[in-house]
Structure 1
């Protein structure tokens, strides 16, 4: 397989390596991944994360295993095992579906490798298209609020919502970003701040519960977030806390945009209520851990509710920024997303 290089995922010299996002920003450690168990561990522990990147990482591993001579039945099992790691993000399912089709070809090794490479390159192009579509919505001097991490660390390209912000900054040069720290795993504070600093985009880090006061003070012009799955009616699942922002934006009359590729659209899911929401380990809420160590602040037997995602209803969304265009509420309510698929 040819070399494929992204910010946090690379296939080089027949070796698949993953940047450990759990350790960012203060440690940059790459893990070699050459079996399904290793990739499952990386995904489940969020060392590789971001809906598009998880699908791409799993795809490159299957392609590598195919080239190494893994039997057809074993490849089929690998695809099933990898798909089962995280239930909410549809990109992973999209990628594994492509590999299942490739596995049925006579020369299934070449077909799987070709599919994996195409998915990787496709994601780069999708990111660029989304960024251009979304940047057109941004005005000079805008203060943009974002949640979680949706940049190059989460994709093969420049990202989804953060890609829009990057492209807008390139165009205007005077964009400022409010970065939600994004509890409980701090993807905003650790990863989005890291990327914006690397890109030299001005930003200010805030606790999640500070967003409302900023909006009330008139300091937020627009909100851009990513998505892990968009239902046929426009509802979407994204990192928990996104719904909070949508409600606040609606109250304060602030435009709220979701940015995602068509590969995140799942028209087989009618509405947000049908999206399975992943529940994660209670330890993530009782304390925090990372490259800085571990801290436990709650009683060890505290009961915890820890959904990884929440669902934002379509009626709170100003626009859906996809690689194919920007769609408003009227278009989506009329069934435009179903037509796109």
Structure 2
């Protein structure tokens, strides 16, 4: 995608033999644009854990590059494979909810097995990670193409009137390598000339909607309005939302879907008001090892300080400000699970799928 007329992906490597990895550090957006150099697996693990990069697809690709860096780091040790195994375990433990992390790491590890030397394994891991990054971007482009007819149908029904879409958190290109999932159909519709407007949930406590989704939409020129998380139901009741599109961090075999905390409430409101609720995600987000999601998908619990403090720009500086009495108890679940019965369909790179196990298996 473009930032100030320059093309970027969220993660990439420079030219050269076994180079460092470059990422956009999303903690500083929308106020500052920082490119961070990641030169070790440990740095990558921290970047994933501390949400310098985030989003299911991007976490997977970052994990793949983390495996490459682990092999490169192992050049310095006496027991390289013991080191690599420990590094991979550490990367896997950074974010437990998104299934893409394990999916991508498993792919890299399976390919690396053919390498005879440590250096050869590092090169194979690097090539595999770059291929996964390209695959992620192409999958998201196809998600956009497959979701576009859903928006076109609403536009036709409204005789060319504005299509109002509500989205939660950030499932744009910042959550993947490029394009994004939930925002990809929106970008393609906007570029096609369809009149669009996006309601953007702020998405407490990390405010990914306010900080990241609005920044993306602004760069793309898509009309949008930031709303408080609790506003969506009111908008739906008053016929101000035509459809909801969110992303996903893990989809169980039956269609139950884990996504950013608060997604379930949006699905309930959409269902109550007869508004289509779509989940956009690549098929790599589907976890066939889980028959169902409720009570089965591991839900990450993050620091209560993310609730107690809010980050913003003050006098030209990015600061964290306490918004409650110090030491106030806080619980901070990162995700919730939306039952398949509340989902209208999954927009994937292979087509739009009904939210049930038979339909999901067929498209795979």
* TM-score normalized by the length of structure 2: 0.88
One of 246, 255, 271 as aligned partner of 1:234: 255
**Local SS of the residue matching 2:30:** coil
2:245 maps to which residue? 224
CA deviation vs aligned residue, 1:196-219 (integer Å, no higher than 9, x gap) = 000000001100111111111100
Answer whether contact 2:45 2:66 (CA < 8 A) is retained: no
CA shift at 1:249, angstroms? Answer: 0.1
- The Cα RMSD (Å) is 1.7
Match of 2:36 among 10, 31, 53: 31
Aligned to 1:281: 303
Aligned mates of 2:82, 2:363 — CA distance in 1 = 34
Moved more, 38-47 or 188-197: 38-47
How do 1:22-171 and structure 2 match up within 5 A? Answer: 22-67=27-72, 70=75, 71-107=80-116, 108-138=121-151, 139-140=154-155, 141-171=162-192
Q: 1:338 maps to which residue?
A: 361
Aligned position for 1:260 = 281
Q: CA deviation at 1:67?
A: 5.0
Task: List, as ranges, runs of 4+ consecutive aligned residues in structure 1 with deviation greater than 4 Å.
Answer: none
- 1:182 is matched with 203
Give me the whole-angstrom Cα distance separating, in 2, the residues matched to 1:318 and 1:97.
31
Shift of 1:327: 1.4
- Name the residue aligned to 2:3: none
Asked if the contact 1:135/1:168 (under 8 Å) is kept, the reply is yes
In the other structure, the counterpart of 2:326 is 300
User: What do residues 281-317 of structure 1 show as CA deviations (whole Å, max 9, x unaligned)?
Assistant: 0011112125631111212222212100000000000
- Unaligned runs of 5+ residues in structure 2 are 1-6, 156-161
- Check the 8 A contact 1:227/1:238 in 2, yes or no: yes
1:15 aligns with 2:20: yes
Distance 1:84 1:338 in 2: 28
Q: 2:348 is matched with which residue?
A: 322
Show the counterpart of 2:4.
none
The TM-score with structure 1 as length reference comes to 0.93
| Contact preservation (8 Å) 1:189, 1:205 | yes
Partner deviation per Cα, 1:2-32 (whole Å, 9 max, x = no partner): xxx8532221132212211111000111221
Aligned partners of 1:206 and 1:250: how far apart in 2?
20
More divergent stretch after superposition (259-268 vs 297-306): 297-306
Distance 2:192 2:82 in 1: 50
Contact (CA 8 Å) 1:193, 1:203: kept in 2 or not? yes
SS of 2:241's equivalent in the other structure is coil
Structure 1 gaps, min length 5: none
Q: Secondary structure of 2:192's match?
A: helix
Q: Distance in 1 between matches of 2:36 and 2:43?
A: 9
Deviation string for 1:114-148 (max 9, x for gaps)?
32122111111101110100111003321000000
TM superposition shift of 1:45: 1.3
Give 3-state SS (helix, strand or coil) of 2:328's partner.
coil
1: distance between equivalents of 2:92 and 2:240? 41
Structure 1 contact 242–310 (Cα < 8 Å) conserved? yes
CA distance in 2 between counterparts of 1:166 and 1:10 reads: 22
* Distance in 2 of aligned mates of 1:290 and 1:38: 25
| Higher mean displacement: 17-26 or 290-299 | 290-299
Task: Count residues with an aligned counterpart.
Answer: 334
Distance apart, 1:279 and its partner CA: 0.1
